[in-house]
Structure 1
Amino acid sequence: MDSLKKIVISGPESTGKSWLTKKLGEHFQVPFADEYARHYLEKNGSAYDFDTLEKIIIGHKSHQQKAIQRAENLVFLDTDLLNFKIWEELVFGKTHDFIEKEIEKENDHIYLLTYPDIPWESDPLRENPDNRLELFELSLDLIKKLNRPYQVVKGDFDDRFENALSALEAFH
């Protein structure tokens, strides 16, 4: 299990994270975890508060753990707690007390950070059409601050996939 590579597809909304997570998982024929927050909000309604985010974070961790347990060498994860930290700070100006400690536990994550160079797709659960570059920079800064390995993935969907494959080669 120590050799398990956990690749997190991270970045702002509407940058192809979910699509890329699924496509990479299918390409490599390995487990992947899609975005838990989307499932939760679709099931329970799009309104949320600070306490609701705690429930989503706990569900997210459990959801991803199921994919991790099925994986042998490689697993793809659609976002991780870095996204939640940024989300909480952006919306509420604070984070849950436990999030920093939980982020420390995810110190083996490797990041494919999606750049906001594809068109915004409207969606009832998406909130940030105008500040995707700012959110990208916040994600990049946090990944760098934590000294986690990363590669930025750009381009249209076909290029994004090919660039992700190339980026993964850099992690070998």
Structure 2
Amino acid sequence: MLTTDSVRTRHIGEATAQDIADQWNSVYPAMREILDTVIAAQCGAQHPTADVPALDKLRRELGQLDRGEFTSCTRSTGEFSVYSALVRVQEVLNVTSVGAPEKGSIYRLAGTLADVDADLTAQWRAEREPGVPAEAVDPGDRDRADSELEHAERGTR
């Protein structure tokens, strides 16, 4: 069971951590059941349509996230990661049937994680790039921008 303490960091406050933990704890059993069902069906299928080892790894990683023990690399300490949780939840959504009653709750969790991840990314940029707006800048017309870059590189403007 995911706790607020597992989610809270210096960048994620108590209220946000509690919201993530509450949503996660309400939907994690359903995600686990979905994966169990899909894995069992794929193992029994004559011609599997999904990568069973990848689904098994996903199930294991969701369990690690649930316990606050997920490691994104061999050197990191076990913890809950908003970005890693978002990626795994999206992967669960990819194998969830359209009519699954839990799908809306899983999407809501994904939305919350995506919003928090976007906020964390903006905070990270603001800390590392002072004076640069934390908001993503609209790139505008990419073709025009490429053209202007080419002119600048050639010195024709």
**Rg larger for:** 2
Q: Same fold (TM over 0.5)?
A: no
TM-score w.r.t. the length of structure 1 is 0.27
Identify the structure with the greater helix proportion. Answer: 2
Higher relative contact order (CA 8 A, sep 6+): 1
Q: Which has a greater percent of strand?
A: 1
